[in-house]
Structure 1
Amino acid sequence: MSYAVDPELAHWLPGIPEIDVGDARKARETERSLSARCPEPDLAGLTVEDREVPGRHGAPPVPVRVYRPRQGSGRLPAVLHMHSGGFVSGGLHTEHAGAAAIAESVGAVVVSVDYRLAPEHPHPAAVVDCYAALLWLAETAEDLGVDPACIAVSGQNAGGGLAAAVALLARDCGGPALTFQALGTPALDDRLATESMWTCVDTPVWHRGNAKQSWAAYLGDEAGGPRVSSYAAPARATDLTRLPPAYVTASQFDPFRDEALEYARRLAQANVPVELHLYPGTFHGSTFVAGAAVSRRIAADLVDALRRVLAVAPPASARLP
């Protein structure tokens, strides 16, 4: 099928390698090679520290990376960020530049979570790790210089689904009250039943085949079945009331497109403030082409939304990713 990909993005398509999610080792190697192409961020305006969060219920410690603006004073808002990678790849390196740019551009403390990966660690390992990081962030807010009443969660792709799951857990378990959830092209529904999931079978980077393998790695034989928890696949949640305000993005040529649109619609129906952006001509992971105008717009829109919701004035030295 032919897709009307944004011309700036289309120029880079021949150089983007095929991702095979069915082979976790190979997928991780490919992701590492893509991440290595990204320029190192300028960290002069930040302090960056790697720490470990105590695991929950006997789970191992969770590595996190904390980014704090040097110009920030007093208690700052915080963003707990979950990386992309289809549940099987990625880590602190994956969105190092993006997390650093958000910390500096928004003027917030960003805590990036290195959650355990499938298939070695299937659900609920990833969401348990992310929720442990949220609890730690709230409990150590004073030490981190964070305002515990101003914490957001964010994520891209699989990380967007994990951010939605953490928001559900925080509501249902009496966890920290979240200010915001930013869900970037999120993976929300293991049932693979939307129109975009059926039609996006040969889209760049990510397609139905990869989505199916990703959910199988994360959920095993239960993927698509009746017993999957909403904390694994947030689209299965029947009650979306009392969730934090949401910012949801979708890419036009992405199998996740329609589940993101539907989740935003259901949040709005549940009286949750929601802002939705569908970016034309984009595909899953197209922000890898950071210099394209649409990629810069995606980054700028997210920063603007975080600033507005977290009530942060733009730092004088702010740079967008």
Structure 2
Amino acid sequence: MTTSKPVCPPVDPEIAPALRLLSEGVPPSITPEMIGAVREYTAAQPVTDEALRRNGTIEFEERTVPGPAGAPDIGLLICRPAGVVGTVAGIYHTHGGGMFTGDNRTLLSPLLEWAVEFKAVVVSVEYRLAPEHPDPAPIEDCYAGLVWTAEHADELGIDPARLLIAGTSAGGGLAAGTALLARDRGGPELIGQILMCPMLDDRMRTPSSRMLHGEATWDFTSNQTGWTALLGDRRGGPDVSGYTAPARATDLTGLPPAFLDVGTVDTFRDEVVDYATRIWQAGGTAELNVWPGGFHGFTAVAPAAALSQAAESARTDWVRRQLGEGK
């Protein structure tokens, strides 16, 4: 018996041209054999020191700190708003990249905008990448970096009572998993989790996970490649932790307030909606935004579009409320 391909909603017409440009560098379908080429493409477009400084509004430093027990040290990129003194809020960042590419500068630009606007310190972790470092290396690195950040909050000028975690795509899944670990291991305390189009479920059973084949961005094949790089033969099977694939977590009580967003033309759409729904059902707090016509990563590749502007505004407004900042 054949299963029909789920229907895919249309892409927002203003952001559709960005898909053509994006596909010239990173195709919708990434196979395991293409991981090296994707890494080369990403490395050829680095986030420069000048870009991090944002016209002198950000000061940054790189630190090497202890990783998980028995594992190598990890790198943290620490970004502070220039000229700010005293103790401020902190935003801990887990970068995207499908679990197999990217670094602690990847997709950092929106967080640096929050750093400037809300006078917050951003700490971005360099976790080990799959497939060379499979599960649980990435999630344990992310948690170790969060623990170090909280333990050194005074040194970093961070108020430990005002610490958020944020991530996009694979980084969003790692942020959700790190929040679960923090709850279950007794800290650090988080006041919120910002999960932007997060990668949450290795089982790939939802309609949205099966609706894109060679279309838009991060389609079924790419998702399969990312999860297989991380989990190998365990992908989709019974032996996958809810910390690694947060959609598998059976207990979503006691989590910090969550912000989740996703586009309707995103492989992750249904798992994101389900995760938010289950947080509500567990008595938790979550804001969910589902953007009509948005494909995976649309805010990064078409930042000037009206849909992207609306999405970024919703994210910023939520961060403002969590930090108790006035307009």
What TM bracket, shorter-length normalisation? Answer: over 0.9
Q: Is 1:67 matched up with 2:67?
A: no
The one-letter amino acid of 1:12's match is: A
Secondary structure of the structure 1 residue equivalent to 2:291: strand
Structure 1, gaps ≥5 residues long:
315-321
1:8 aligns with 14
Aligned mates of 2:8, 2:237 — CA distance in 1: 32
Q: Which residue of 2 aligns with 1:85?
A: 97
TM-score scaled by length of structure 2: 0.91
Deviations 1:13-67 (A, max 9, x none): 2211215252321121233456679x93524122111111211211111111111
Asked if residue 290 in structure 1 is aligned to residue 303 in structure 2, the reply is yes
Tell me if the contact between 1:207 and 1:255 (Cα under 8 Å) persists in the aligned partners. yes
Indicate which of 310, 316, 320 corresponds to 1:303. Answer: 316
8 Å CA contact 1:106–1:303 kept in 2: the answer is no
1:120-162 per-position Cα deviation (integer Å, ceiling 9, x unaligned):
0111111111101110111000000111111111100000000
Deviates more, 1:98-107 or 1:279-288: 98-107
Gaps of 5+ in 2: 1-6
Spell out the pairing of 1:244-259 with structure 2 (5 A cutoff).
244-259=256-271
SS in 1 for 2:51: coil
2: distance between equivalents of 1:260 and 1:96?
21
Alignment partners' CA distance in 1, 2:150 and 2:179? 14
Which residue number corresponds to residue 284 of structure 2? 272
**Residue aligning to 1:318:** none
Q: Secondary structure at the match of 1:239?
A: coil
Q: Aligned partners of 2:284, 2:8: CA distance in 1, in Å?
A: 36
The answer on 1:216 being equivalent to 2:222 is no
Instruction: Provide the residue aligned with 2:242 in structure 1.
Output: 230
Partner of 1:319: none
Match of residue 28, structure 1, among 39, 42, 46? 39
Alignment RMSD: 1.9
* Aligned partners of 1:21 and 1:88 also within 8 Å: no
| AA at the equivalent of 1:15 | L
Aligned length: 313
3-state secondary structure, aligned to 2:15:
helix
1:176 and 2:188 correspond: yes
CA distance in 1, matches of 2:283, 2:9: 35
| Cα distance in 1, alignment partners of residues 236 and 313 from structure 2 | 35
Alpha carbons of structure 1 residues 53 and 297: separation in structure 2 relative to 1, 3 Å: farther
In the alignment, the residues of structure 2 paired with residue 84 and residue 21 of structure 1 have an alpha-carbon distance, to the nearest angstrom, of 18
1:40 aligns to 2:24 (yes or no): no
Residues 1:133 and 2:145 aligned together:
yes
Residue 123 (structure 1) aligned with residue 129 (structure 2):
no
**Cα distance change on mapping 1:68 and 1:225 into 2, 3 Å:** same
Q: Are the equivalent residues in 1 in contact too, given 2:9–2:264 (CA < 8 A)?
A: no
Amino acid at match of 1:66: I
Tell me by how many angstroms 1:115 deviates: 0.9
Distance across 1 between alignment mates of 2:316 and 2:55: 18
Question: Identity of aligned pairs, percent?
Answer: 42
Shift of residue 203, structure 1, vs aligned partner: 3.0
Alignment partners' CA distance in 2, 1:185 and 1:305? 15
